[in-house]
Amino acid sequence: MTIEVRNLTKQFGSFVALDDVDLTIGDGELLALLGPSGSGKTTLLRIIAGLEWPDAGEVTIDGESALSRGAGERHVGFVFQHYALFRHMSVFENVAFGLRVQPRRIRKSEAAIRARVKELLDLVQLDWLADRYPNQLSGGQRQRIALARALAIEPRILLLDEPFGALDAKVRKELRHWLRSLHKEIRVTSIFVTHDQEEALEVANRVVVMDKGRIEQTGTPTEVYDHPANAFVHGFIGESIELPVEVTDGQVRLGDSPLAIAADGLVSGPSKLFVRRHDMQVGPSGSGVLQGAVIRVRTFGPVQRAEVALTGGNKAIEIDAPRDQELRPGDIVGLKPRHYRIFAA
């Protein structure tokens, strides 16, 4: 199912949740809406689901206008951050709900409903929980039941609002992989909202980065990570060192000192220099582009993270260096960015 969003605008009082948003979602995609809180991602999702109505704009699902239909008529599966399972129903009845409320003329027989629920519980690997109640389940189990419930109506689109937001880190990782493989299996067009960049990059085929009600960039995880379109995206995705610089006639200055990096084709004016933490090469004092003193070194995982106070400024930055490189607090080092981006501020 293809979803087209055109010129979507939505305001809550004076707060602009969506500001003229355009987006096309292709059939079978697994799309992530990524952004900080208040960026409008959940509002966009809820408008597509029919749980919210826009002030202006159009949403079409497979060429048909969605806005003229209520949420129940759109055949959209919605998964809530806090599960929203029916607390007084067993797991089985929760999953069966969408089938039981169908109009009598198209409602399945009791046997067919039972078979379908069984099939869905098998799909989410929780058939053994059928008789339990939601408050007897763990967070991860609840979310999988919520997903099974949404899938029961054979939705044309699956929408997930921060599906793993309320879960602890380990369960969240497991569910991410599980969601990916589930999507591979059922191939239903899916959109999920998240503020967790790692989640978006790891799970989605395509990522839409949003901020303040606008789409900042759309692309594959690799594209948005390697080629961020602007300062916001660079700062939001991946861990970056961010330095305020001044560009004047093809020269970059940090405070008073000029930096020996190319600035071809940059517009003069106050700008921001972005370097990924692992892209900052640490060398002996005097080498590189920036100088600084190591304040602190912490070692974990495949890297060591050094906090470096830059010379001639009161700014300290964090860089990731290989573990075998010798770094001690007090060392004076030279820093050279392997890759960097400069955006006008």
Partner 1 sequence: MSIEMTLQRGRVAASAREDGADASAAALGHVGPRTEPKLVRIAITAIAVMFLMLFVVLPLVVVFAQAFAQGVGVYFAALSDPEALSAIRLTLLVAAISVSLNLLFGLIAAWGIAKFEFPGKTFLISLIDLPFSVSPVISGLVFVLLFGAQGFFGPFLAQHNIQVLFALPGIALATIFVTFPFVARALIPLMQEQGTQEEEAAISLGASGLQTFFRVTLPNIKWGLLYGVLLCNARAMGEFGAVSVVSGHIRGLTNTMPLLVEILYNEYQFVASFAVASLLAMLALITLVAKTILERRLDNEDIEP
Rounded alpha-carbon distances, angstroms, from residue 15 to 47, 77, 235, 279: 16, 28, 23, 38
| Residue written as token pair 């998964």 | 79
3-state helix, strand, coil in the chain (%, to 5): 30, 35, 35
For partner 1, give the closer residue by CB, 74 or 272: 74
The residue range among 54-62, 71-79, 260-268, 318-326 that interacts with partner 1, by the rule CB under 8 A, is: 71-79
Closest to 213 in 3D by CA, of 1, 3, 4, 5 = 5
CB of 95 to partner 1, least distance (A): 10
202: tokens are 């790891």
Bridge partners of residue 293, in order along the sequence? 309, 332
For partner 1, which residue of 41, 116, 149, 276 counts as binding (CB under 8 A)? 149
User: Using the rule CB under 8 A, is 69 a contact of partner 1?
Assistant: no
Residue 78 in 3-state DSSP? strand
User: Using the rule CB under 8 A, is 102 a contact of partner 1?
Assistant: yes
CB of 125 to partner 1, least distance (A): 20
The residue range among 148-156, 195-203, 232-240, 294-302 that interacts with partner 1, by the rule CB under 8 A, is: 148-156
For partner 1, give the closer residue by CB, 186 or 344: 186
Measured between alpha carbons, how far is 56 from 303 in angstroms, rounded to an integer?
A: 49
Taking residues 150 to 189 in sequence order and writing x for each that binds partner 1 by CB under 8 A, - otherwise, the string is x-xx------------------------------------
CB of 104 to partner 1, least distance (A): 12
CB of 86 to partner 1, least distance (A): 6
For partner 1, which residue of 85, 193, 224, 327 counts as binding (CB under 8 A)? 85
For residue 244, give every residue at least 6 positions away whose Cβ sits within 8 Å of its Cβ, in sequence order, or none: 254, 270, 271, 272, 273, 345
CA 148 to chain centre: 22
The residue range among 18-26, 143-151, 253-261, 335-343 that interacts with partner 1, by the rule CB under 8 A, is: 143-151
For partner 1, which residue of 16, 67, 84, 295 counts as binding (CB under 8 A)? 84
User: Using the rule CB under 8 A, is 59 a contact of partner 1?
Assistant: no
CB of 198 to partner 1, least distance (A): 26
User: Using the rule CB under 8 A, is 105 a contact of partner 1?
Assistant: no
User: Using the rule CB under 8 A, is 203 a contact of partner 1?
Assistant: no
Bridge partners of residue 245, in order along the sequence? 271
The residue range among 66-74, 182-190, 195-203, 287-295 that interacts with partner 1, by the rule CB under 8 A, is: 66-74
174: tokens are 């497991």
For partner 1, give the closer residue by CB, 48 or 182: 48
User: Using the rule CB under 8 A, is 123 a contact of partner 1?
Assistant: no
User: Using the rule CB under 8 A, is 292 a contact of partner 1?
Assistant: no
For residue 258, give every residue at least 6 positions away whose Cβ sits within 8 Å of its Cβ, in sequence order, or none: 251, 252
For partner 1, give the closer residue by CB, 87 or 339: 87
Measured between alpha carbons, how far is 79 from 188 in angstroms, rounded to an integer?
A: 14
Angle at alpha carbon of residue 228, lines to 57 and 16, rounded to 5° = 30
The residue range among 115-123, 145-153, 194-202, 221-229 that interacts with partner 1, by the rule CB under 8 A, is: 145-153
State the CB neighbour count (10 A cutoff) for residue 145: 25
For residue 143, give every residue at least 6 positions away whose Cβ sits within 8 Å of its Cβ, in sequence order, or none: 79, 83, 163, 164, 166, 167, 175
List interacting residues with partner 1 (CB under 8 A).
Answer: 49-51, 70-78, 80, 82-88, 97-98, 101-102, 133-135, 142, 146, 149-150, 152-153
